[in-house]
């Protein structure tokens, strides 16, 4: 039976117009990743072309608050269920969510055909003002110049947000600069950094309608 079906299909006359239309339909830019180690267990799904729908639970409320902000302001649909060794501290959970979120971005972007590649945003939150710039370069690195007062925000150590972004940028293979232009309050600085990163990412992953079929690199790949 499969042989007959495939013969029937190949016997159809080719319709170039229809084929052209098929190649114009973009693949869904989504990824689902599960990762378990002795320290954390994470299930994460991402849709780059979402609307900011989210269901996020990491056991670290302030971190959830920042992940909500990234989903909302990047318009990424994001589901995360993470359980980690919070009895030690939040470090492993935050870092591993960063790794998995980064890997999900990389997977969802596929061969990076049609993306804008670069993105930037400057976002205020009260007295704080933070710049983020993204290059989906294939080279994972964070350049962080955003000193934050060391304090606990709930069970979240304020120095952990940088660790999250290192893991994310490395996992995703993108260059991310985060620079504090003003700010005193740790919650405000980190939240402005999260929102700026989200907005910069949204711009960088957005499809460039003028170049949907090309990879935005003179090398031809990213
Ligand atoms: Mn807040």
Domains of the chain: 30-205 (3.30.230.40)
Closest-CA residue to 104 (of 83, 80, 121) = 80
Distance CA 132, CA 199 (A): 8
Task: Answer yes or no: is pLDDT of 186 > 70.
Answer: yes
Q: Look at strands 40-47 and 54-57 and give their pairing.
A: unpaired
**Reported confidence tier of residue 24, pLDDT bands at 50, 70, 90:** low
Q: State in Å: Cα 125 to ligand 1 middle.
A: 9
Q: State in Å: Cα 192 to ligand 1 middle.
A: 9
Q: Of all residues in the chain, what percent carry a pLDDT higher than 70?
A: 88
Kindly report the number of other CB atoms within 10 A of residue 4's CB atom: 8
User: How confident is the model over 29-67, as pLDDT tens digits?
Assistant: 999 999 999 999 999 999 999 999 999 999 999 999 999
Q: State in Å: Cα 111 to ligand 1 middle.
A: 35
**Reported confidence tier of residue 211, pLDDT bands at 50, 70, 90:** confident
Q: State in Å: Cα 61 to ligand 1 middle.
A: 11
Contact yes or no for 80/57 (Cβ under 8 A): yes
Task: Answer yes or no: is pLDDT of 26 > 80.
Answer: no
For 48-98, list the strands marked E by DSSP: 54-57, 77-84
Q: State in Å: Cα 147 to ligand 1 middle.
A: 18
User: How confident is the model over 123-167, as pLDDT tens digits?
Assistant: 999 999 999 999 999 999 999 999 999 999 999 999 999 999 999
Q: State in Å: Cα 29 to ligand 1 middle.
A: 29
DSSP, residue by residue, 128-193: EEEEEEEE--SS-EEEEE------EETTEETTHHHHHHHHHHHHHT-EEEEEEEE---HHHHHHHH
Q: State in Å: Cα 216 to ligand 1 middle.
A: 35
Residue that wins the pLDDT comparison between 210 and 120: 120
Q: State in Å: Cα 65 to ligand 1 middle.
A: 7
Q: State in Å: Cα 201 to ligand 1 middle.
A: 20
């Amino acid at each position: 039976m499969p042989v007959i079906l495939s013969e029937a299909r190949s016997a159809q006359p080719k319709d170039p117009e229809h084929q052209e239309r098929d190649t114009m339909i973009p693949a869904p830019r989504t990824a689902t990743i599960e990762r378990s180690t002795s320290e954390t267990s994470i299930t994460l799904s991402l849709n780059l072309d979402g609307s900011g729908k989210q269901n996020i639970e990491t056991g670290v409320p302030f971190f959830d608050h920042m992940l909500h902000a990234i989903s909302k302001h990047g318009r990424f649909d994001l589901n995360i269920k993470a359980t980690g060794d919070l009895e030690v501290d939040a470090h492993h959970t935050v870092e591993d969510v960063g790794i998995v979120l980064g890997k999900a971005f990389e997977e969802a972007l596929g061969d990076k055909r049609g993306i804008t590649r670069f993105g930037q945003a400057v976002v205020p939150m009260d007295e704080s003002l933070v710049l983020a710039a993204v290059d989906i370069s294939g080279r994972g690195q964070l350049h962080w110049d955003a000193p934050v007062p060391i304090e606990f925000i709930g069970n979240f150590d304020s120095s952990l947000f940088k660790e999250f972004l290192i893991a994310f940028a490395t996992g995703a293979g993108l260059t991310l600069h985060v620079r504090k232009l003003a700010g005193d309050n740790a919650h405000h600085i980190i939240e402005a950094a999260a929102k700026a990163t989200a907005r910069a990412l949204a711009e960088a992953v957005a499809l460039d309608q003028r170049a949907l079929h090309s990879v935005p690199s003179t090398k031809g790949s990213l």
